[in-house]
Amino acid sequence: MAATQTVTGTMSVANTVNDQISGGNYLSSNSPAKPARQLSDPNHNCLQELKDALLPKMIEVDQTVTSEKATDNIIAYLLTLVCKQWRTILNQPCFWRSVAPILHKRDLYEDGIDGSKEFTSLTTFELREFESVCLVSVSDMDICEFIDHCPKTKRTLKAISLRRSTVTDAGLEVMLEQLGAVSSLELSGCNDFTEAGLWASLQPRLVSLSISDCINVADESVAAIAQRLPNLQELNFQAYHVTDGVLGCLVALRGGSLSVLRLKSCWELTNQAVVNLVHCLPQLTTLSLSGCSKITDEGVEMIAANMGKLVSLDLSWCPRITDAALEYVACDLSKLEELTLDR
């Protein structure tokens, strides 16, 4: 059985499980011939009872298991081990749509009888029809094996994240062609694909793109994004060597659907980049220039004067911004709800 680690998502499983098993008998897997107690109380919350019993023990093992999301995810998994009936109920896709499992390369293979590596069974993964997944330390071949052994992902997977992986231009292109329902892509710490790979692989259906810590990403990547992704709604981009001029390429997205732009730790960007941004993307509602250390008060003044739709603005780790910039923000950004200035 493949090892999956749940990292995000909230499951309200108590009511659904109660609806499907309340008023009937359910059997303990240890006593198949003997019916367990009947749930006579229609309001009985079996998930909460199990959570109350197990949470103290879980915290003893791992002090980080304190959030409602984490405990719900763990308890839901434990319930699948109780008996076949509960497993059938809790493997239904409705419980897992907002959950993003992490699959490391080591989780995808198991030792065969002859000592060779064989791809592990992902039957449970397919049953749950996850809509998002994170693959860690995988290669082109690993991604192809994953898709071949989980054919349902071609229609169910909507978001995929590759972290610290050796995916190449060819692998990226094949992956996005095969996973035809994917509309959200994250690439983090992937140093084997190039900007040419982005030009070849990016699909117009993508509405969300995140790229960070990828050493081959620079100006040409921004141009590829602007030209290849006309339906983009959210762009999270971190690259150390992106320059001011290339942001002018984003004019292709002017008046489009892009509303969230996060440019983090783009050290080469100056106030000229802000000039290009306010000209190309006045429709933004969320903007982050966190870690763009060359931005000054004058840049903030231009943002405040020209980007009146902003609801969220992140100027953290911008050491050249002073208190004077707050006056521009307070006077002109009337719709602003969130301002981040942490250093």
pLDDT tens, 241-275?
Answer: 899 988 889 988 988 899 999 999 999 999 999 99
- Residue given tokens 């990403």 in the structure block: 217
Task: Note whether 229 and 211 are within 8 A (CB).
Answer: no
CA 237 to CA 311: how far, in whole Å? 19
Domains of the chain, earliest start first: 5-94 (no CATH), 100-217 (no CATH), 235-343 (3.80.10.10)
Phi then psi for residue 250, to 5 deg, are -70, -5
Instruction: Give me the chain's average pLDDT, please.
Output: 83
User: Which residues are bridge partners to 340 per DSSP?
Assistant: 314
Return the number of other C-beta atoms located less than 10 Å from residue 88's C-beta.
12
Q: pLDDT tens digits, residue range 288-333?
A: 999 999 999 999 999 999 999 999 999 999 999 999 999 999 999 9
CA-to-CA separations, 306 to 288, 291, 302, in angstroms, rounded = 15, 22, 6
- Decide: 127 and 1 in contact? Cβ < 8 Å: no
Q: Please give the DSSP secondary-structure letter assigned to residue 65.
A: T
Residue 65 above 60 pLDDT?
no
